[in-house]
Amino acid sequence: MRYFLGLDVSTTGSKALLMDERGAVKAVASTPHTLQTPRPLWSEQDPREWRQAAAASIRRALTDSGIRGEQVAAVGLTGQMHGLVLLDEAGEVLRPAILWNDQRTQAQCDEIHRRVGRERFIQITGNLALPGFTAPKILWVQQNEPEIYARARHVLLPKDYVRYCLTGVHAMDKADGAGTVLFDLKRRDWSPEILAALDIPQAWMPPTYEGPGFTGRVSEEAAALTGLKAGAPVVAGGGDQAAQAVGVGAVEPGVVALTVGTSGGVFATTPSALIEPQGRLHAFCHAAPGMWHFMGVMLSAAGSLQWYRDTMAPGMSFEELIREAEAVPAGSEGLQFLPYLTGERTPHPDPLARGAWIGLTVRHGRGHLTRALLEGVAFGLKDSFTLIREAGLGEIRQVRASGGGTKSALWRQILASTLEAELTTVNATEGAAYGAALLAAVGAGVWPDVPAACAAAVQITDCVSPDPAQVEAYRRAYPVYRQLYPALKPTFDAMGGIILPENKS
């Protein structure tokens, strides 16, 4: 029996997952990371901590499973996207990594659009320049830390720094590469035009590979540190969203991955490099070779319910709140909720957007507030589905749902009826790490391609169909929801001016 390691270098920790060649998970181990916020809007981590955490998780997964390092046939990598790791000529880290949730670079985003042209940038990269992405972070270091920039020779993403520690090789997968917004999306590789416009040497950017492609082998030093076999191949893998999609089997057009965690994500595989003309959807390469994907992001999905319970009903369980909501009819008798508690990303990239219940009357009770919240999150996710359809994806046959929010049967039914699609859950619960292990197994020849691996290893555990009565109610309510943000945006901006006076202009 051969085994495969999926390693997920996330924001909160490094997770190691061991899977056998039938797709069964044998062990999972995780080691936490620390986060630094040295200034407002900044979010950083020390990459060397990832190396230590990854090694500790691998060792513990091997010990817990009783699997020997020499039995691990291949390693797949995944992790947090968009983070900037700068190395010097000797491969030493030059500064703390600037993470995906760092918000310091709005001025650099504006400058990128000025240098390249907003429309031209969208057409090449498939995206707007946003503070979370890697390109504006490089420009920030260039402009604010010139002494560090002068010593830089290599640009890597978080998981790819761990790859470098494992193999001594600079490499990156195409899905994560596209997430830097330095990619030519259609060509699936670095854009000479974008790099030149931003004065970033192309020699700094590593070669890119398809998700199951071999990028290097575990070194003797890394083998001693981790317990893996020296010479074990390491495949490219994918950014966490692409690997998560592999982990739930969303690897063909018409099958969409929906994550309802603290934030919400909609991941739709596309057979070509489709682009939303205004850049309201992210468009990246998939970890599955020859595929691309759209992605919409909601900043407060299950996080809205967490906030609501903690703030409004701290003595109640989620189950009790949901039980009250079950007694309320679809549409919450006219009550609507905007889930913009931490601003929003898709389809409204607006940090000043705010949450609200709208339409309150004396008839409405706590059950109405709860159900309206569940429906408001579902409507917010439907915004991404609407954009995906309008951008040319076509029919959405099935939604593969994961995340803490999907544990609620009521919320799953609301989502199925709102999205008007079959909503399924699957046996794979470890998401991105499992997807990385599947990519490693494909690279090692266990399955001929990624769709075959998903068909063999990912099984549907539950299926919810749209309820016709609810569908009709939500068809009436959703257009009202879509009117609320445009109507309230001037108010949100004015509120931002009160809280942050410098935003008044």
Catalytic residues: 240
User: Whole-angstrom Cα distance, residue 96 to residue 99?
Assistant: 9
Residue 359, number of CB atoms within 10 A of its CB: 16
Closest CA to 415 of 298, 316, 314, 285: 298
CA dihedral 465, 469, 470, 474 (to 10 degrees): 120
Decide: 169 and 160 in contact? Cβ < 8 Å: no
Q: What angle do CA 95, 240, 387 make, to 5 degrees?
A: 115
Q: Between the CA atoms of 439, 178, 15 and 427, what dihedral angle is there, to the nearest 10 degrees?
A: -50
Give how far Cα 200 sits from Cα of 110, 121, 146, 193, 481, Å. Answer: 17, 16, 13, 10, 43
CA distances from 238 to 67, 208, 280, 465 (A): 25, 11, 22, 31
Q: What are phi and psi of 377, to 5 degrees?
A: -65, -40
Question: Residues 57, 30: contact at Cβ < 8 Å?
Answer: yes
Question: 484: alpha, beta or left, given left = phi > 0 and alpha = psi -120 to 50?
Answer: alpha
3-state helix, strand, coil in the chain (%, to 5): 45, 20, 35
Number of residues that this document lists for the chain: 505
Q: Give the closest residue to 206 by CA, choosing from 242, 246, 150, 167.
A: 167
Torsion of CA 339, 345, 350, 353, to 10 degrees: 0
The token duo for 91 is 């491969």
Backbone φ/ψ region at 290: left (φ over 0), alpha (ψ -120 to 50), beta: left
